[in-house]
Amino acid sequence: MQISRFAKQVSTTALVTAAALAVSSSAQANKELEQLAKQNTNWVMQTKDYGSTHFSEMIDINANNVKNLKVAWSFSTGVLNGHEGGPLVVDGIMYVHTPYPNNVFAISLDEPDKILWQFKPKQNPAARAVACCDVVNRGLAYAPAGKDYPATIFLNQLDGHVVAINAKTGEVLWKMENSDIAMGSTLTVAPFVVKDKVIVGTSGAELGVRGYATAYNIKDGKQAWRVYATGPDEDIKLSKDFNSANPHYGQFGLGLKTWEGDAWKIGGGTNWGWYAYDSDLEMLYYGSGNPAPWNETMRPGDNKWTMTIWGRDVNTGEAKFGYQKTPHDEWDYAGVNYMGLSEQMVDGKMTKLLTHPDRNGLVYTLNRENGSLVNAFKIDDTVNWVKKVDLKTGLPIRDPEYSTHMDHQATGICPSAMGYHNQGIESYDPNKKLFFMGTNHICMDWEPFMLPYRAGQFFVGATLNMYPGPKGTLGQVKAMNAVTGKMEWEVQEKFAVWGGTTATAGDLVFYGTLDGYIKARHSKTGEELWKFKLPSGVIGHPITYKHNNKQYVAIYYGVGGWPGVGLVFDLADPTAGLGAVGAFKELAHYTQMGGGVMVFAWERGNEST
């Protein structure tokens, strides 16, 4: 039903995803947020819109004039660690967040030289020690005023608390504990507002946290539902017809059966990446991450439902489908990242799709109504742990040479534990039917060790060395057709493109680089049209908005995160930072720490075209 209704809309209009979906959204949906997302004056969620297109229809800044972009204003956050995510812009206010200590600043776009309000939470500093890879935060969420709550900004604190803040005044409305740092659980994920709920994930799979996603009521923070990645079906919340379209993905009882004993209790599968939502289907999409502990010999089995793409009913949390991409992960390919929604022709039928470039180096495209695999292909031909995905069974065909078993020393595994695609939010241009992806190009050696000590004790661990992939650089940017698997263009970047991309109808794709450039490329050809060197490297994403009829582009600078962990903690041992320090040892020669937001605009009359 929904497909045919949708197809009709598309045939009569060439509107973008968000516009088309809004027409058919239910009366209950947080319509206002969806409306705000469509307005060029706003950037109301980290993903830009529910479909996570990160695409703006604005053309004021375009391929012809982007070279004239100049700095309009800037703002230092006063925090030096890695700045992931991006600012939000709503109703003429920019909301800026920082990594730990997770400060929030509201800045009026009319008067950007003044801070409207600021929120500096007091939180348990012990959280810093628990976070694995720098003390990042992936951003804020916004909920427009409802009948029983004011316009609200949501902040996830590293110490595991979710805070609701009055968007106009900066006052705390409520605060809930979502994760207990004493259990190794932190919060780095950006909250995601859907209907009357705010969705929050978890971090800390490395430390044996059993991952869950939770929906809280916007008005009072009361828990609406919580769903786990492992354990009994009722904890995972499987619907009665779970995976009925694809029973070969596995259906019931597997959250227990695919683990030895009760190892599912410490099984990981956290979600600290990005969400997407289809307001027509009322379904929420996200990925659960790696199983724990990292040492695969300690957890025989498929370890379901870690490494899974979920499609859940947002009202109840119930899963309609779950597709496990990497059964029994051996490489830390946490599959939490970007979920991009699009509507494209598949076998002659307009189909609702979900595209997910995974950390394991494969790009998966699913029918997002029932989870059926449409396509799964390598993000780069240098991916070698897997030969291909069998589309009939959904299983990856592995190459045992690149396994990390205890009795095997694997060298040249591609991708590295960092994945070919990590936490960046990518963009989708619905006119060109292209996804633009910033990627890593990093491989690794994985040397497991089990060394005797005394009195029967062993030291069990692994040493990872990471280094540039076969193409010689650490990053790539690619324009991809998700249905055909064809790369329209690809360019090399010296360092990983960690933060993701933003595309516009002005034939542009923007992104930041680890060494501190914001760049604009022609989205048809990949040609570099403009770049500007920022005060520090970038691990967040660009945004674009209109204010007083002028288009702006904004981006956080502030190197750090996993790739910049060596800079942040001043590490020299190449295997430190879970192996990241060696891979990015060059980075210190290009950029240093420093956090803030920089805003660019094109000055009219300044054009030379």
Q: Is 332 a catalytic residue?
A: yes
Please enumerate in sequence order all residues whose Cβ is within 8 A of that of 503, keeping only pairs 6 or more positions apart, or say none: 53, 54, 55, 56, 427, 428, 429, 436, 509, 510, 523
Do residues 474 and 584 touch, judged by C-beta distance below 8 A?
yes
Q: Which of 392, 459, 472, 609 binds another protein (CB under 8 A)?
A: 459
Segment interacting with another protein, rule: CB under 8 A, options 46-54, 225-233, 273-281, 451-459? 451-459
Q: Which of 72, 132, 491, 505 binds another protein (CB under 8 A)?
A: 132
- Give phi and psi for 127, each to the nearest 5: -60, -30
If one asks whether residue 209 binds another protein (CB under 8 A), the answer comes out as yes
Helix, strand, coil percentages, rounded to 5, for the chain: 15, 35, 50
Binding mask 272-301 for another protein (x = CB under 8 A): ---------------------xxx------
**Could you give the angle at the alpha carbon of 275 between the alpha carbons of 244 and 10, nearest 5°?**
75
Number of residues this chain uses to bind another protein (CB under 8 A) = 38
Tokens of 544: 């674009």
Q: Measured from the CB of residue 583, what is the shortest distance to another protein in angstroms?
A: 12
Q: Which of 4, 347, 348, 451 binds another protein (CB under 8 A)?
A: 451
Do residues 127 and 144 touch, judged by C-beta distance below 8 A?
no
Distances (CA, A) of 173 to 103, 162, 226: 16, 11, 22
Q: Which is nearer to another protein, 399 or 445 (CB)?
A: 445
Q: Which of 262, 390, 603, 607 binds another protein (CB under 8 A)?
A: 262
Q: Which is nearer to another protein, 247 or 461 (CB)?
A: 461
Q: Measured from the CB of residue 590, what is the shortest distance to another protein in angstroms?
A: 24
Q: Which is nearer to another protein, 132 or 350 (CB)?
A: 132
Distances (CA, A) of 425 to 48, 84, 141, 437, 553: 10, 10, 15, 8, 16
If one asks whether residue 570 binds another protein (CB under 8 A), the answer comes out as no
- Owner of token pair 């993905």: 249
E-assigned strands of 218-282?
Answer: 223-228, 276-278
At 600 the three-state DSSP class reads strand
- Peptide bond preceding 125: is omega within 30 degrees of 0, i.e. cis? no
Q: Which is nearer to another protein, 294 or 545 (CB)?
A: 294
Q: Which of 113, 114, 400, 456 binds another protein (CB under 8 A)?
A: 456
- Give phi and psi for 62, each to the nearest 5: -145, 180
If one asks whether residue 177 binds another protein (CB under 8 A), the answer comes out as no
Q: Measured from the CB of residue 1, what is the shortest distance to another protein in angstroms?
A: 45
Burial of 469 (0-12, 13-18, 19+ CB in 10 A): buried
Segment interacting with another protein, rule: CB under 8 A, options 149-157, 249-257, 263-271, 553-561? 263-271
Give the Cβ contact number of residue 295 at 10 Å: 15
Tokens of 239: 């619907």
Q: Which of 125, 253, 461, 470 binds another protein (CB under 8 A)?
A: 461
Binding mask 79-118 for another protein (x = CB under 8 A): ----------------------------------------
Q: Which of 34, 134, 159, 206 binds another protein (CB under 8 A)?
A: 206
Q: Which is nearer to another protein, 14 or 572 (CB)?
A: 572
If one asks whether residue 266 binds another protein (CB under 8 A), the answer comes out as yes
Q: Which of 354, 386, 503, 578 binds another protein (CB under 8 A)?
A: 578
DSSP one-letter code for 414? S
Which residue is catalytic, options 49, 134, 332, 429?
Answer: 332
**Rg of the Cα atoms in the chain:** 22
If one asks whether residue 265 binds another protein (CB under 8 A), the answer comes out as yes
Q: Measured from the CB of residue 155, what is the shortest distance to another protein in angstroms?
A: 23
Q: Which of 463, 484, 492, 606 binds another protein (CB under 8 A)?
A: 463
At 114 the three-state DSSP class reads coil
If one asks whether residue 576 binds another protein (CB under 8 A), the answer comes out as yes
Q: How far apart are CA 350 and CA 364, in angstroms?
A: 18
The residue type found at 583 is: A
Residues of this chain that bind another protein (CB under 8 A): 129-130, 132, 182-184, 206-209, 261-263, 265-266, 293-295, 449, 451-464, 575-579
Task: State the catalytic residues.
Answer: 332
